[in-house]
Amino acid sequence: MLSVSLSHKIKVASFLATIMVVYRHSLNYLAFFNTYSGEGVNGWVQDGIMRLTQIAVPYFFVISGFFFFRKNYYLKDNWMGMIKTKFKTLFIPFAIWNVVGLLTLIATKQKFHISFHDFFMSEWYGPLWYVRDLMTYMLIIPLYQWLFISSANLMRNRLTGVFLSVLFIILIYIWSPVDTMWLSSEGIFFFVLGGILQKREDLLEKKIPTFLFVCMILLWVSMSFCHLDFFLFQKVRILCGIVAFWVFLDYVKCMIIDKFLSYSFIIYVLHFYMIKIMKVGIAKLFYGNDIVSMLSFLFLPLICVLLIILLAKVMERIVPVFYKISTGGR
């Protein structure tokens, strides 16, 4: 049973990570300058925040793995029960918001194809790739547990099994990317890492010295706002950032956002086209303007989040059943 404080901290971190995702989709070089890279102060700010917020999806995978591995899915009944639950909480929302994405493409007269491939690969609604990957990990996870148990039995030493499993996911993470159009090796790494942390919940509530925390924050921020972005540097930055972000929440309390924590999922699934329409609309009025580009990047995500929360509150009142189903009961 999770402690109240840890449960609350996870919800706060998830909400803030969702806002990070909104920022990642508010990058506006293409809209304002018809280019994929920025220059000057504007470019430095946008690129830096893009690197800073790169921890968001890895954090989601860690937390998903943390909760998922609280049961032993090597047992058939547990696995089948999980499939039924995740069908309601993940697949149905995945299907609904894919259709919403398709309708948006039709309404905005953009190119699209109607096929199972485009549906499953989230071609109609990009951010849903995370939900797709998460569902896949949960389907194949008994294979991981079989490997874990088999290696432990083979060596007649559970510690050896743990060592082999940890070594395996470290190799997945460190070796050259094997990301495909479907599964991400990085996603698998963080999902399984969450499962390992589930066995050591005390680590999530462990306090670290203030001096060490400050050093980690400075390292994370400085690594984000410099232009070094080679493979190993990026990995260290993400790992350092996740830890720094998690510990940061012990030092900063913001009671204002507590009432909005239940809206993380609806913000995640609704923001993509909304933020795109907003930034493209402003870019048409102020094309080539560096200052407006930077201000749009900094403030549009916050405006977008507030608008979605207001819309969600309206949906809860007017179409409560649809809202519940489309958010997986969250």
Identify the sign of the CA torsion 205, 209, 214, 219. Answer: negative
Full-model pTM: 0.86
Higher pLDDT, 316 or 3: 316
Count of structural domains, the chain: 1
Q: Contact at 8 Å (CB) between 300 and 27?
A: no
pLDDT surpasses 60 at 112: yes
Q: What is the Cα–Cα distance from 322 to 100, expressed in whole angstroms? A: 13
Q: Contact at 8 Å (CB) between 326 and 268?
A: no
Residue 180 has a CB neighbour count (10 Å cut-off) of 8
- What amino acid occupies position 114? I
State residue 179's pLDDT score: 46
Q: Contact at 8 Å (CB) between 92 and 322?
A: no
Q: Contact at 8 Å (CB) between 118 and 112?
A: yes
What number is the average pLDDT over the span 42-51?
Answer: 94
State residue 164's pLDDT score: 60
Confidence of residue 165 (pLDDT cuts 50, 70, 90): low
What number is the average pLDDT over the span 68-72?
Answer: 79
What number is the average pLDDT over the span 201-226?
Answer: 87
Q: What is the Cα–Cα distance from 114 to 119, expressed in whole angstroms? A: 7
pLDDT surpasses 60 at 240: yes
- What are the tokens at 194? 């969450």
Q: At which residue do the structure tokens 């010295």 appear?
A: 209
- Residue 55 CA to its chain's centroid (Å): 8
The residue range of the domain holding 243 is: 4-326
State residue 169's pLDDT score: 62
Distances (CA, A) of 293 to 22, 46, 52, 53, 114: 16, 10, 19, 19, 34
What number is the average pLDDT over the span 271-296?
Answer: 93
State residue 302's pLDDT score: 96
Percent of the chain having pLDDT more than 70? 84
Tell me phi and psi for residue 223, to 5 degrees: -70, -30
Helices (H) and strands (E) in the chain, counts: 16, 0
Tell me phi and psi for residue 204, to 5 degrees: -75, -20
State residue 278's pLDDT score: 94
State residue 150's pLDDT score: 55
What number is the average pLDDT over the span 79-89?
Answer: 85
pLDDT in tens, 167-179: 666 656 665 444 4
Percent of the chain having pLDDT more than 90? 42
For 50, counting Cβ atoms within 10 Å of its Cβ (0-12 exposed, 13-18 middle, 19+ buried), the class is: middle
pLDDT surpasses 80 at 296: yes
Residue 35 has a CB neighbour count (10 Å cut-off) of 10
State residue 171's pLDDT score: 59
pLDDT surpasses 90 at 62: yes
Range with the poorest average pLDDT among 26-40, 99-113, 261-275 = 99-113
Higher pLDDT, 52 or 78: 52
What number is the average pLDDT over the span 20-25?
Answer: 95
- What are the tokens at 64? 């998903």
